[in-house]
Structures are given as C-alpha cells and as structure tokens.
Structure 1
Amino acid sequence: MVKEHSFLYRLTSYFADSKLTPIIILATILLGVFAVINTPSEEEPQIVVPLIDVFVEMPGATAKEIENRVVYPMEKLLWEIPGVEYVYSTAMNGRALTVVRFYVGEDVEESLVKTYDKLYQHLDWIPPGCSMPLLKPRSIDDVPIVVLTFWGEGYDSFTLRRIVAQVDDEIRNIPGISETFIKGGLRREVRIEVDPQKIYALGLDPLEVAEIIRRQNQARLVGSFREDNYHFVVRLENFFRDLHELEQSVIKVVAGKPVYLKDVARVIDGPEEPENYVLFIPGPAAERKGIEAAPGEVFPAVSLAIAKRKGKNATKLAEKILEKIEILKGHVIPEDVQVTVTRNYGETAREKTDELLEHLFIATAAVACLVGLFLGLRASLVVMVAVPVTLAITLAVYWLYGYTLNRVTLFALIFCIGILVDDPIVDVENIVRHLRLPENRGKPFKEIIVYAVNEVRAPLILATFTVIAAIAPMAFVRGLMGPYMRPMPVGASVAMFLSMIVAFIITPWTAYHFLPKKPGEEEKESLITRYYRWVMGHLIRRPLWRWSFLFAVSLLFVAACSLFYFKIVR
C-alpha cells in the first residue's frame, strides 16, 4: 500500500499539476545551454601532473663531475619532498637538468613551493662554482593550442623573424594567452669580431674588451637637485642607441689618444648564426588547403606557437587568435607573407565535441523511437522530456565542478542515456497500467498518476542507487587513469540521481498533461506479450526446455571466454 502522507507522495502530488514545474523544466534547459556555451571544450581531459624542471650550471665541469657533485646531492633532497613520484636527471658538460614529477592530482603551486623551499633551505649542497638552481614548472597547458607558420616568396628567415616578433606582441594582448614561442628564423644580433693582433698589441684580451663594452652600455641614477621649487633627478644615460655609438666606444687610451672599438674590431649588425632551420614545403594537397605554392617547393619559415591559460576554452581562444591574424594582415603582416595554420587544437576539439554532441542527440532520438514503439507516442513524449532535463542539469554540474567538454565527459552522457530513461519508463508504464485498470474508472486523473508513481518508488529508488553503487567506485581509481576516467562515474552517478528526482517531479507533470485522460479502458495483450507468455510458460513448466536454455547460455559463456584464449579478441 502507498502511504498517502509520506514525503514523496506529497512531493509528487504537489508538482503533478503545479505551475512551477514548467518553469523548472525551462530553467534547467536554459542552464544546460549556458553550461554547453561556457564549459571549455577540449579533446582529452586535463590531467594535473605537476612537473618541475630544475636547471643547474657548473661551467668547466665534466658530466661525471656534475653527476657526482651536483645531481646526487640534489636528488637526495628532492626525494625527501612529500608527494614526489619520480626524479629524472640528465648530466651534461657544464650543466644538469633534473625533472621532478609529483603524483597525479597534487597541487601545482604547492608542489613548486615545496621544491623551492627544500632546495633553498639546504644550499650547503651546492659545490663551489655551481649556480643556484633555477626552477620552471611544466603542465599540460604548456602545449600550444595554435601554431602559425609564416612564409613567403622572397622573404628570408631574418626578415620573417622580425615580422613574427611584431605579431607576437599583438597576440600576447589577447586575454587567455599564457605563453608564446617563436621557432625558427634568425634573431637580430650585433656581433663584434675583434682582431687578435691589434688587441694583444694594446695589452688586452677578448674578455677584457667585452667587459669594457658591458660597463659602457648601462645607465644609472647619479643624484638629484632642487631649483625653483622643482625637484630634478639626474640620470646617466649611456645605453648604445645605434651602431655608430658602439663603434665609437673607447677601448683604451694610448699616449693620450683614444682607441675606438672600430679600430680593433669589426662591428656587424645583422642576423645571428643559424642553429636550426624551419622550412615550409607544400605537399600534394596544398591547392585543396588554399596554399598558393607549388608542391615540393622549399621556403624559409618561422612558426609562432601559442599556449593557453589553465581553464580557458581552447576553441574560443583559437578563434580569437585567427581573427587577430586577419586584422593584422596588411599593416603588421605584409600582403605577400603567407600565414598557414599548422596546428589548431581548438578546431579539432570543437570537431570532436560536436561529433559527440551529435551522437548524443542521435542516441536520445533512438531511445525516443523505441519508447514510442512500445508505449505509444504520448508516453514517449513523457519520457523524452525527462532526458534533456536530466542531461542539462548534468552538464551544469560538469561546469560547476570545473570539468571540460571532452570525449570522456560526453561519452559518459551517451553511456548513461540508456539508464537515464529507466526511471521515467517505470513511472510511465505503471501510470499507463493504472489508467487501464477497471477499478480506476471514475477516479481523478491526478490521483491515479500520483498513486501509480508512488507505487513503484521503492524499486525505483533501489534500482537507482544500485547503479550508482556499481559505477561510483570508478571515481576513486588512482594514477593517470583516475582523473582521465573520473568524469564518467561522476557524470553517470549524478545523471542517475537526477533522473530519479525528475521521475518524482517532472514525469508526473508531463504525464498529467500529455497522456490521454481516459482511465478504465481494458488493456489488450499485444503479439509480443502473448509470445513472451508462451516462451516463459514452456521454460517454467517443462524441464527439457529449462535445462536446454541453461545449457545454451553456458555454452555461449564458454564461447565468449574462448575468444581471449584463441586471441580472436585482444
């Protein structure tokens, strides 16, 4: 018997014909749309694995000396830090690199502070001649989301680098950009090629010449004075402003005559010596991609890589970057310089999320068709109102928890669509059954719906929490797979719990407004029901059928397990 004074009975009775229910439905749908628009979209979940690079230099030391005197003492200290999982070190001539990796889920800022404190609290480990450790944190957000390659006929690497440097200054002004990297090209460099014989004749060596130039290329505040109620600050401005001033710098005074830099060296203002090359070579699909160059032709190129800040939407940020590039064409970027997008993580992330959202709608439509086939069109409408409401609230929960729209979170929604409709289907099926019972003829329509929903509340609640209990433990998996798979059990568990709430609040209202108000019609068994009764009757009453069925199931189970043994399934 249904207790008419229970909390769930009164809750269902209140919302069955309440004017507040459609407002709740509309609000949840709008909340879901807001979550889809504002939740960052990415291909993969963002896994937080704090990585810290520790750089140390010891000029003149061999790799073996660096290993024994620097790396070993430093690694002992790093292993003492709580949360450290691995420490990797590379010793080279004159320098060393140590990578500290913390456990998955450790806070990045806290890990950096702990590493800094540990190294700088024990500076006695640093041998004479060794530099102070330099710490640089690394994260998944350091990976560029957009890479732009600049090239053009008649442009060399030096000119392209100067153009890209100006573009870089403009791109950095876009909110959400964390870092930019320029790869390739030749930077501007002032190179001084001294004549050894001339400087040795003056009693100097190249290091002394470099120190003399460094001392002259500086500015300093030398004092201040007051006059007529004004305060003046005196600054010694002595930076080199052009190549002529550098050539005119005095290196030494001999017999009362100054010796200028141009007298003992050749000063060259131009590109640096190349250390690497970036080339752009169009392929066979160049014309289809809109690249105006013959396939196989080689062009000097410079690439600009752009990384985003943590939590920013990669898709929207990539669109802003490309819009900015279009604005810069014609005044910062010359008309004949080509800009080719060689990586666009935002576009690929949008394609993946759009594809999964499309499959989400297809799955929802497929479920609607199945429900309509077996329960009728109006009953399917009742179920299909519950699905988008549940998914909308689940997407809002994703946004509140800081998850992103990626293949795992969206797959979780697709995965749970089949079990989301269980609670509404149980409600609707029992409501339809009660409407067809003769004893309900003449009863108020609302009373029939409320009674039918509360009649199945115990199995409905039990089934919901049984599924949650089976899925939820996946959220506590550790290691790299933990944060990667966690959105799936979290999303599925939240969706199941919300579908149960929807079954008590939304489904009675939709049933009250969508189902035909004709109680008392006797139910006629369908062909499927009659066939089901015939099969189950033989399985229950006839031992031969029963044991044959159990044997067939066991045989299929053994056959399925043998697929692994014979390596048909890997």
Structure 2
Amino acid sequence: MVGRGIDDVAIVTLTLAPVDPAANVTAADLTRVARELRVDLATIADVGLTYLVGEADDAIRIAPDPERLALAGVTLQQLSAKVSGANRSFAAGVVREDGRQIRMLAGRTLATPEEIGNLLLTTRDDRPVYVRDVADVAYVPDMSDLYVAEVTRDAVGAPVRRPAVTLAIAKRAGANAVTVAGHILERVETLKGHLIPSSMAVTVTRNYGESANEKANELLFHLGLATLSIIALVFFAIGRREALVVAIVIPVTILLTLFASWLMGYTLNRVSLFALIFSIGILVDDAIVVIENIARHWGMAGGGDRRQSAIAAVAEVGNPTIVATLTVVAALLPMMFVSGMMGPYMSPIPANASAAMIFSFFVAVTVTPWLMLKLAGPAVATPAGGGHHADHDGGLLGRLYAEAARPVLASKTASWAFLAIVGVLTLGSLALFYTQHVTVKLLPFDNKAELSVTIDLPEGASVEATDAVAQDVARVALALPEVISAGTHAATAAPFNFNGLVRHAYLRAAPEMGEVQVNLSSKADRDRPSHAIALDLRQRLGALTLPAGTVLKVVEPPPGPPVMATLLAEIYGPDAATRRAVAARVEAAFRSVPFIVDVDNSFGAPAPRLRATISPDDLAFFGVQESDVFDTLAILGGETTVGYSHRGGGRPPIPITLALPRADKVAGERMLATPIAADVLPGATGVVELGDVVRLAREPASYPVFRHTASTRKW
C-alpha cells in the first residue's frame, strides 16, 4: 500500500475512449495510447505523479482444460514447465568463423498463440499430445479483473457505454496549477491526430487549473470589493483625505503580507487569498484608529503644529493598538499547530492573517502619519471654531451617533426601554435558529462541476454485479440535464480528489466496490448549483432496485477541509463482538433520523470463502507431493506467468499466462478433475485427480480490523 499526500491529487484527468462505440477499439488499445501519452506529458515542467485508471494488460493466455488434461495424463506443472522451457532465448557464447568472432544466440521466444499451441508435451498411446490438445491458447486483450467505462448520450439522448482509460496528472509541490494545467492541455492538442489516433477521443474530465483560476479571480474580486467598501466607509464617515490614506495603506499592507508569505514558503492560492479577505476588515483597524485620532487632534481647539499633533495622536493610541494587534494574532496562531491532513490546509490562514496584522500595525504607526502629513501640507492644525472637525464633533459619523444616542440617554425610562427592545430583538434573532428559518453552517455549499457516487455491494459480490449497479447509477445520472457524462468504475477507484484523499478512496479496489464519477456542465451553463443536483440525484437513486445490502453514497466535494464523513462515530470496546453490537445500535440510531442519509459501517458482513484442505492420508496413499497440490490450486484460482513473448519493433513484451477464463473459475467437479502427479518415483508417470486429495469447505471470512493509536475501533 502506497500512501498519498496532498500533492498527489490530480489537477488534470484525461479520459480516452473510442469515438465510435461500435469501433473495434479495445481497452488494450486505449491503454497503449494512454501509456505513450503519459510518457510524453511527464516531460512537461512541474508535472508530478501520473497514473492510469482502467488500464488493461494484454496477454497470451493458456487456458487449461481439466478434462482434456486428465484424458492425456498431463499435469499443470508439466504444461507450465514445457512452455517455460521452450520460451527461452539466451546468449550461448562466441564462435569463430573465417577469422571472425560471432556471437551465438540459443533458442527463440514464442511469438504467437499458434507457436505455443504446437509445442509437443508428450505422447499418449503412441500419439503426440500438443499444448493445443489440453489447453486453449489465445491472445486476450484484457486480463484485468475490473471494468472502467465512459457513459454518454447518443444523438437521441440514450445512454451509450464505451470502454475508457483515464490518465491522472498531478503537479509538483509549489507549482502553479493554472500554468501546469494549461501546458498539459496545450500539449494534448498538439498530439491529436499524431500520438492520439482519430479513432480515439480525449475528454478533459477534470481541470483544477481552470477551477483554481476561477476561484482565485473570484477571491481577488472580493478582495478589491472589500477594499473599496472600506475606503468608501472612511470617506463618508471621516473624510476624503483619510479615505485616500486608507486607499494607500491597504495595498501596502497586502504587499508586505504577500512578501512575508513568500518568505515562509506559502503560495498564492485559494486558502491564502481567503486569509487576506478574512483579515482585510481587521488589518485596517490600526490605521483607522490612528487616522481618526490624528484628525481629532488636528481638529481640537487651540491649533498648533501638525507634526507634533500627529506624534501626540499616535502616542496616545499606541499601547492600546499594540495590545489589540497582539490579541488578534494570539487568537489566530493556534491554528498553525493543526496536524495531519488539515495542517497544510489550515496553516496559511493564521500565517497570512497574523503577518497582515503585524504589518498593519507598523504601517499604521509609520506610513499612516507620514501620509496624513503629506496630504495635509505644512499648515498648522485647524484652530477652534473652524475646519471639518471643529468643536470636536467627531465628523459625520459622530453627529449621526449623537443624534441617535441623545433620545436614548434623555431619561432612565428611555434607556430601559431601549435595553428591553435590544433584548427582545436578540432573543428573536436566536429563535430563528430554533425555527430553522436561519440554517447554521460552517461554510456555504460550493458549486463544483463534479459529483461522485460510491458503490458498496455486500462483501463477496462479483465485479460484474458491481459494474451492473454502476451502469444503473450512470443511467439515472444522465437523466439529469446538467450531467454531461459519467465515468463508471468497478473494482477500481476513480482518480481521487482532495475529498477522496482523506477518505482513502484510492484503496477501493475490491470487487464489491465501485464508483461513478458524474461530470456536470459549467456552472455558467446551468441554473442549479451542484448541491441541488446532488440532492435530486440522491432522491432518484432511491428508486433503483439494488442487490440486498448495497449502499450508495452521493459525495460532493466539500467547500472546506474534507473529512472522513459528515457524521462519524468511532466505537471502542473490550472485544470485537461488543464493538460490532454497539456499532449496529448506533447505526440504527443514525438511520432513524430523517436527515441523516447514506449510512454505512466499516465492518459489513463477512464474505463466504472456500478453504481447500489436503488429506495427509490420501497424499501418502497416492504418493502425491504437497507442493504439486498447492501449485495446482494457485494456477486454477489465479494466474501464473510462464514467460514473455518478445514482439520486437520497440513494442513491450506481453506475458504468457497460464490461467483459467473467468467463466471457468468455478470450484466444482470439473476443476477437481485436474490431474496431479502421483507415485513420484524414478520413471513413474501416474496421475490422480485433485479431488482425490483435496477437500473443499465453506467458511465465513474474518471481519476487518481498524486501529487508531493502537486501539481497536469500529466506524
């Protein structure tokens, strides 16, 4: 198992599929092109991890027939040894000829199924027995035990399935996702019709460079909007000169913060921009306090030198400003110590916001007074009875406050009435949470261009059953007008995103596990946000007829830090049975709540399994070696590579595999008829059937075990 980090999340995914579903383009053809494309795109600067999803490995498969093997008296070990020995080519040394030294090669690798099928195994009743007599030898374009497809609409809107292979591309740490994604897509365009044949289509199913650019532009817009709002507020509340000072102070503080962020190793991303927007309202507090106090001193009665008045004004509010700045920094800094997956996500917020606060203080006590003096000129402070701040009235904002406060402070009755009204309004606003007229959320719903549906069938389900459910889910998703396409994955995971990174989605490779990646149209081309589409999709999926025990989860990329689940309960207890019993009760409690959906647990139901045991008495009676029995079972249940066929021409070799087809991997009488060498003595050639020495018994598999800080738990 390979761990993945935040820099391994693919920023671009390219899905290759045949243009014409009826064309003879196999998954092996798509895999070959995808691998060449992967090598080419890996040369682009700042491209990091690349991997393929749905790749199919072709092979020359030797499918033994147990009945024909028994008829010819040939064991799987003999078949494997014959093919392995014949498929050999090696340097046999150097010979001399006509005064020259010539390198000599011995043997030749097997190139075609016909060559393998014509290998002579033995003779039976004076008749030759060839490999083709006991096994079916053929070229198989896909030996993988998984299904990946792209489902789209045809001209009349009906769903069409095509085989697909997806190339996922991540960027290096610190690289600009927008730039890297742009270079990748530019290179892909130049490769169409050359490396990528016209019979294959390349679809960009993920482009985080584009989404990151949209988010960054949106955040920059809000950053500018927040700056203009503050400048406008200062302009109307204090004055135009003070507003001009704020208009200069804010960019200076932001630039100093970005410089400090660069020194600390942070990049300009959505989190750091959010930190700037979050802090822009408080980073001008120091400057506004200093500006207002300088303006107040200049407007006080008596007049005097502007420079000395400004110095006195800054000194008057210096200590309170320092304390206020350090208080905000102290409140933000604990977020720096968040560990785990959340650490890289959270750390830019306290780092950038704290730097902005510290720089805003120094700008407030140095740059702000200097700007005020430069803009005011060398004249003396306004004497009593004149100027904008004459009579120390506090400006427009002060006059508005005075007009509102005088009636309240005119009598005790008015004051108590005002407090009562404020109290009633406060309680009324809190009551809105109880009546659910105001929804409490940490972050607003995002509007992404992707959704996913994870599929979990009961343990022990076949990959074909998982793929059938995935196709049903894709058809339901394509009934939504906002859905462009759906990528179905059975026994393998789709390219994981940040949410899948936390949930370890890249480890979902069991036959009963699947995923449907739902691709939506751009948010500019649809009216409904992705959350509304997800709710509609969940409701439609509820009408599907699914195998018993199947769990579907509609997963939205969260707007903030991803988590294992929205609501997660960890059960600890003295033993596994107690933990499962308690977890079942907690699960029932979850299911009883109407607004809790997609409930699942981590232990499931144990899958049935077969255990093949060898009878020692039968082994001794028939003279069978245990190793032969185990090797035979391994070949029948799995696959064994006995060599490679070297095709030349720069093409990679393909394996020669000894394996049964999927449909023949049935633990029945036919499999148990497979012959095994018996009476292993010098010159002995006897065989017995596998069923003579092996007993099959069904038993439940064990439950999975999850551990957290050395404690066993259930989810």
TM-score range, shorter chain: 0.5 to 0.7
Q: Which residue does 1:501 correspond to in 2?
A: 362
State the match for 1:418 in structure 2. 281
| Equivalent of 2:324 in 463, 468, 473 | 463
1:149 counterpart = 2:12: no
Contact 1:184 1:277 survives alignment (8 Å): yes
Structure 1 residue aligned with 2:221:
358
- Aligned-residue offset at 1:364: 1.0
Q: Secondary structure at the match of 1:470?
A: helix
Any idea what SS the aligned residue of 2:206 has? strand
Instruction: Tell me the distance in 2 between the aligned counterparts of 1:559 and 1:279.
Output: 54
Contact 2:38 2:167 survives alignment (8 Å): no
Return the TM-score normalized by structure 1: 0.63
1:296 aligns with 2:158: yes
Aligned amino acid, residue 563 of structure 1:
L
| Match in the other structure for 1:308 | 170
Distance 1:376 1:253, change over 3 A: farther
Query: Quick check: 1:331 aligned with 2:202?
Result: no
Distance 2:318 2:158 in 1: 70
CA distance in 1, matches of 2:68, 2:219: 73
2:104 and 2:260 mapped to 1: Cα distance? 61
Per the alignment, residue 53 of structure 2 pairs with 183
One-letter code aligned to 1:206: L
Q: Does 1:453 align with 2:314?
A: yes
User: How far off its partner does 1:420 sit?
Assistant: 1.0
Show CA shifts across 1:235-265 (max 9, x none): 8675445556645656458999997645765
Question: Offset at 1:385?
Answer: 1.6
Q: Show the 5 A alignment for 1:127-138.
A: 136-138=2-4
User: In the alignment, is the contact (CA less than 8 A) between 1:146 and 1:344 conserved in 2?
Assistant: yes
Q: CA deviation at 1:326?
A: 0.8
What CA distance in whole angstroms lies between the structure 2 residues aligned with 1:512 and 1:225? 98
Q: How does 1:335-484 map to 2 (within 5 A)?
A: 335-437=198-300, 439-441=302-304, 443=305, 446-476=307-337, 484=345
2:407 is the counterpart of 1:544: no
Report whether the alignment pairs 1:553 with 2:422.
yes
CA distance in 2: counterparts of 1:528 and 1:173, whole angstroms: 61
Q: Highest relative contact order (Cα 8 Å, sep 6+), 1 or 2? A: 1
**2:293–2:313 contact (8 Å) kept in structure 1:** yes
- Indicate conservation of the 8 Å contact 2:94/2:104, yes or no: yes
Quick one: distance in 2 between partners of 1:539 and 1:479?
53
In the TM superposition, what is the alpha-carbon distance from 1:308 to its structure 2 partner? 1.6
Secondary structure at the aligned position of 2:164 is classed as strand
Return closer, same or farther for 1:380/1:527 CA change in 2, 3 Å cut-off: closer
For residues 256-314 of structure 1, the C-alpha deviation after alignment (integer angstroms, 9 at most, x for no partner) is: 9997645765532241357444443434xx9xxxxxx6643525231323142552433
Q: Which residue type is aligned with residue 145 of structure 1?
A: I
3-state secondary structure, aligned to 1:463: helix
* Aligned Cα root-mean-square deviation (Å): 3.9
Give yes or no for contact 1:193–1:265 (8 Å, CA) kept in 2.
yes
Q: 1:220 to 1:357 in 2, by over 3 A?
A: farther
**Distance between the aligned counterparts of 2:85 and 2:213, measured in 1?**
54
Q: Conserved in 1, the CA contact under 8 Å of 2:333 and 2:354?
A: yes
CA shift, 1:499, in A, is 0.4
Q: 1:149/1:296 Cα in 2 relative to 1: closer, same or farther (>3 Å)?
A: farther
Q: CA deviation at 1:166?
A: 2.3
Residue 535 to residue 236, structure 1, CA distance change in 2 (3 Å): same
- Range with bigger deviation, 210-219 or 543-552: 210-219
Q: 1:169 to 1:246 in 2, by over 3 A?
A: farther
Deviation at 1:137, TM superposition (A): 1.9
Describe the SS at the equivalent of 2:3: strand
* SS class of match (1:156): coil
The whole-number CA distance in structure 1 between the counterparts of 2:104 and 2:376 is: 89
User: How many corresponding residue pairs?
Assistant: 424
Task: Provide Cα deviations, 1:523-553, integer angstroms capped at 9, x if missing partner.
Answer: 3445543343344455556322332233233
2:138 corresponding residue in structure 1: 268
Please give the alpha-carbon distance, in whole angstroms, between the structure 2 residues aligned to 1:144 and 1:265.
Answer: 43
Residue from 395, 399, 402 that aligns with 1:533: 402
What is the deviation of 1:450?
Answer: 3.8
The 5 Å alignment of 1:60-139 reads: 136-139=2-5
- Matched with 1:207 is 77
Residue 379 of structure 1, CA deviation = 1.9
Query: Residue 138 of structure 1 aligns to a residue in which SS?
Result: coil
Give the unaligned 5+ runs of structure 2.
441-715
Q: Partners of 2:323 and 2:410 in 1: how far apart? A: 31
Provide the C-alpha distance between the structure 2 equivalents of 1:426 and 1:233, rounded to a whole number of angstroms: 90
What letter matches 1:329 in structure 2? Answer: K
Q: Is the 8 A contact 1:360 1:414 kept in 2?
A: yes
The structure in which a higher percent of residues are helix is 1
CA deviation profile, 1:188-236 (whole Å, cap 9, x unmatched)? 2212245667655664223331233234445667778999xx9999886
Contact 2:10 2:171 in 1 (8 A): no
How far residue 492 of structure 1 moved from its aligned partner, in angstroms, is 2.2
